């Protein structure tokens, strides 16, 4: 009897046995990279090292079973870890200290809140919210996170105390502490960075991060690195993660964490959706963002219930999985299995791992988030958006990640509104051999003596309605010959809000008082229904509505004896 398809996870349906060998190898390779990475992310989230391993145990399992993407890798992430740490530090909770049980519990609570927000977003079909971070803003945001993450690792690489305060104060702290540099610690940090980049350049198929971690861990263990001043991660609590709700918290903590949870929610939606879509398109699959939100919600709920922090879809780890020819979430289930083995049997081997090694791994991740090539592309193709990207990056670095994500959303929305506000207004002139010349709706423009074909390339809403009215009045008033027909090409207008409806009524009155007929060409049925609700269709006769622009222009030629429009 065949296994019911409905019970098979979406990402694993139609699985082929021939893929298993490749998925097993890809999963082991990915685990070798992901495990040291997520351990390093704990230095950003400021949680115990073992919590990094927890981010790829139950959360990745939850997404593999409930998400739809075949390749998206979910786990600890530098961007959400940075948002989380900044949010907790600024929450104003008395006595809160990084890495304390209270801090870890608050991280779990934030993950639970993020999971709930994601679930609500799925129920309301809000997957489109991820689209409200434009590509240029996201490049700027991740670049800012990269700078913040990379510079945040410098003290651990140098072996000097971390500073407090704002970003500039923290940088000044390690700069003024250069006289206290621990040279053995620096050797481990620089060695890690060098190994990773050497393997990336010359042997890219082998993950340099795991070579650096295993190799330098071996050196540190054999030489007893801690005895000559190298800080090591120390004993790691092995075994399964604690299961249950975060303990020892107050209801007031929930309110204090709401902004942080929403900031994490937006970056999870934007980054995961973009990653899932790009890899689905690459392989000819269909991305189901709303289904992935279910998986991401479950992953964050699992994180909150297993003593760790917010998780996210990782572009870098997903790229690694794709690069080693992983085919499905079976590869990620292998990562879960390998992580479980490490937690149960191998944590004792990590005791002597220098913190500088993990800092070096995360430093490289931060450097790779600084998207210089992306900024250069934006600069060449859309210089105006480069300014927005740089402002976003600077805000993330100087003010903080939470402020950066808010600014990123605001700038993206303002960019959309401005483009709609400054939409092109055109006057179309028929060509003798067919088609139209598109010219700006400037004084003196007309389509033919007595005719203006006017096109507005945006929906009409409260912000651009006045501009639309002003442009119509200006082009009509300055027409070289008296206007008899004003054809509104509606192909660029799909919606009219209430304020714009009032403005369109004023335009209709303005034209009719001048004896000019308002003609609609190429309106969608939905648009006509909206205009009907605003009683505008009572002022436009049915024979002045045309499905085709050419037909409308031809009808103007046959209207020489038509009476002027009645004054409203």
Read out DSSP for 459-479?
A: -B-TTTHHHHHHHHHHHHHT-
- Report CA torsion sign: 385, 387, 391, 397: positive
Q: Could you tell me which residues are beta bridge partners of residue 438? A: 428
Beta strands in 480-567 (DSSP E): 485-489, 517-521, 545-546
What whole-number distance in Å separates Cα of residue 71 and Cα of residue 451? Answer: 57
What whole-number distance in Å separates Cα of residue 20 and Cα of residue 551? Answer: 61
pLDDT tens digit at each of 568 positions of the chain = 455 555 667 766 676 777 788 888 888 888 887 888 898 889 889 999 999 999 999 999 999 999 888 888 999 988 899 889 988 988 888 888 998 999 999 999 999 999 999 999 989 887 777 666 677 877 888 788 889 888 988 999 999 988 877 788 889 999 999 999 999 999 999 999 999 999 989 988 787 888 898 899 999 999 999 999 899 988 888 899 999 999 888 888 888 899 999 989 988 987 887 778 767 766 777 778 888 999 999 999 999 999 999 999 887 788 778 777 777 888 899 999 999 999 999 888 888 989 999 889 889 888 888 889 889 998 998 888 888 889 888 988 888 766 777 777 787 778 778 888 888 899 999 988 888 999 998 888 999 999 999 999 999 988 899 999 999 999 999 999 999 999 999 998 999 999 999 999 999 999 999 999 999 999 999 999 999 998 888 888 888 999 999 999 999 987 766 667 666 5
User: Tokens at residue 50, please?
Assistant: 């073992």
> pLDDT value at position 450?
93
User: Tokens at residue 255, please?
Assistant: 């309110």
372-381 CB contacts, 8 Å cutoff, 24+ apart: 374/139, 374/143, 375/139, 375/140, 375/143, 378/136, 378/139
User: Tokens at residue 521, please?
Assistant: 């060409």
Phi/psi-derived region of residue 521, left when phi > 0, alpha when psi is between -120 and 50, beta in every other case: beta
What is the model's pTM? 0.73
> pLDDT value at position 132?
67
> pLDDT value at position 508?
92
What whole-number distance in Å separates Cα of residue 519 and Cα of residue 99? Answer: 69
Phi/psi-derived region of residue 507, left when phi > 0, alpha when psi is between -120 and 50, beta in every other case: alpha
What whole-number distance in Å separates Cα of residue 278 and Cα of residue 286? Answer: 10
What whole-number distance in Å separates Cα of residue 448 and Cα of residue 434? Answer: 14
Q: Other CB atoms closer than 10 Å to residue 178's CB: what's the count? A: 9
Q: Where is 425: in which H helix or E strand?
A: strand 425-430
Total residue length of the chain: 568
Contact indicator for 527, 459 with CB cutoff of 8 Å? no
Give which of 48, 30, 146, 43 is closest to 356, Cα–Cα: 43
- Report CA torsion sign: 245, 249, 250, 254: negative
Contact indicator for 191, 205 with CB cutoff of 8 Å? no
Contact indicator for 332, 73 with CB cutoff of 8 Å? yes
Question: Got the DSSP string for 2-61?
Answer: PPPGGGS-GGGTT--GGGHHHHHHHHHHHHHHHHHHHHHHHHHHT--THHHHHTTSHHHH
Do β-strands 517-521 and 485-489 pair in parallel, antiparallel, or remain unpaired? parallel
Residue with tokens 């610690």: 185
3-state SS record for 119-163: HHHHHCCCHHHHHHCCHHHHHHHHHHHHHHHHHHCHHHHHCCCCC
Contact indicator for 339, 308 with CB cutoff of 8 Å? no
Q: Other CB atoms closer than 10 Å to residue 73's CB: what's the count? A: 30
What whole-number distance in Å separates Cα of residue 19 and Cα of residue 16? Answer: 6
Q: Where is 455: in which H helix or E strand?
A: strand 451-456
What whole-number distance in Å separates Cα of residue 97 and Cα of residue 86? Answer: 13
Assign 518 to helix, strand or coil.
Answer: strand
User: Tokens at residue 14, please?
Assistant: 């139609």
Give which of 371, 323, 466, 479 is closest to 79, Cα–Cα: 371
> pLDDT value at position 254?
87
> pLDDT value at position 1?
45
Residue with tokens 């296994």: 3
């Amino acid at each position: 009897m065949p296994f019911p398809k409905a019970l098979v996870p979406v990402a694993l349906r139609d699985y082929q046995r021939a893929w298993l060998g490749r998925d097993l190898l890809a999963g082991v390779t990915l685990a070798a990279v992901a495990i040291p990475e997520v351990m390093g992310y704990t230095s950003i989230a400021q949680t115990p090292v073992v919590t990094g391993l927890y981010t790829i145990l139950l959360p990745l399992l939850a997404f593999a079973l409930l998400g739809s993407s075949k390749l998206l890798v979910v786990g600890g992430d530098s961007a959400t870890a940075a948002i989380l740490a900044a949010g907790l530090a600024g929450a104003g909770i008395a006595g809160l200290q990084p890495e304390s049980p209270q801090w870890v519990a608050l991280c779990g609570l934030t993950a639970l809140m993020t999971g709930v927000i994601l679930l609500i977003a799925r129920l309301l079909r809000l997957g489109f919210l991820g689209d409200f971070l434009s590509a240029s803003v996201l490049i700027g945001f991740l670049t800012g996170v990269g700078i913040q993450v990379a510079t945040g690792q410098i003290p651990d690489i140098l072996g000097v105390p971390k500073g407090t305060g704002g970003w500039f104060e923290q940088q000044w702290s390690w700069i003024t502490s250069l006289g206290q540099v621990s040279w053995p610690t620096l050797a481990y940090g620089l060695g890690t960075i060098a190994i990773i980049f050497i393997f990336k350049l010359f042997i890219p198929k082998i993950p340099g991060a795991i070579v650096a971690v295993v190799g330098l861990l071996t050196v540190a263990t054999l030489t007893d690195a801690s005895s000559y001043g190298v800080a090591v991660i120390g004993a790691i609590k092995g075994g399964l993660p604690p299961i249950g709700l975060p303990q020892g918290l107050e209801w007031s903590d929930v309110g204090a964490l709401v902004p942080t949870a929403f900031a994490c929610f937006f970056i999870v939606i934007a980054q995961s959706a973009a990653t899932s879509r790009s890899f689905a398109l690459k392989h000819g699959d269909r991305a189901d963002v709303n289904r992935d939100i279910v998986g991401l919600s479950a992953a964050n709920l699992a994180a909150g219930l297993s003593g760790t922090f917010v998780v996210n879809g990782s572009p870098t780890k997903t790229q690694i999985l794709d690069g080693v020819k992983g085919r499905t979430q079976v590869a990620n289930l292998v990562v879960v299995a390998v992580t479980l083995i490490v937690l149960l049997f191998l944590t004792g081997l990590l005791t002597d791992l220098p913190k500088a090694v993990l800092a070096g791994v995360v430093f490289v991740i931060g450097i790779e988030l600084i998207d210089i090539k992306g900024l250069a592309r934006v600069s060449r193709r859309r210089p105006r958006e480069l300014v927005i990207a740089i402002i976003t990056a600077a805000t993330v670095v100087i003010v903080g990640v939470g402020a950066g994500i808010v600014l990123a959303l605001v700038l993206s929305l303002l960019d959309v509104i401005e483009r709609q506000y400054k939409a092109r207004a055109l006057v179309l002139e028929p060509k003798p051999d067919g088609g139209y010349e598109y010219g700006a709706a400037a004084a003196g423009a007309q389509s033919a003596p007595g005719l203006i074909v006017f096109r507005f390339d945006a929906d009409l809403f409260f912000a651009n309605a006045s501009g639309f009215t002003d442009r119509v009045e200006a082009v009509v008033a300055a027409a070289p010959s008296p206007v008899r027909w004003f054809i509104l090409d509606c192909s660029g207008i799909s919606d009219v809000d209430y304020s714009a409806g009032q403005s369109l009524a004023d335009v209709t009155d303005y034209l009719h008082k001048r004896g000019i007929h308002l003609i609609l060409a190429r309106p969608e049925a939905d648009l006509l229904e909206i205009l009907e609700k605003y009683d505008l269709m009572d002022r436009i006769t049915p024979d002045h509505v045309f499905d085709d622009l050419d037909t409308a222009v031809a009808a103007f030629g046959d209207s020489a004896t038509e009476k002027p429009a009645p004054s409203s």
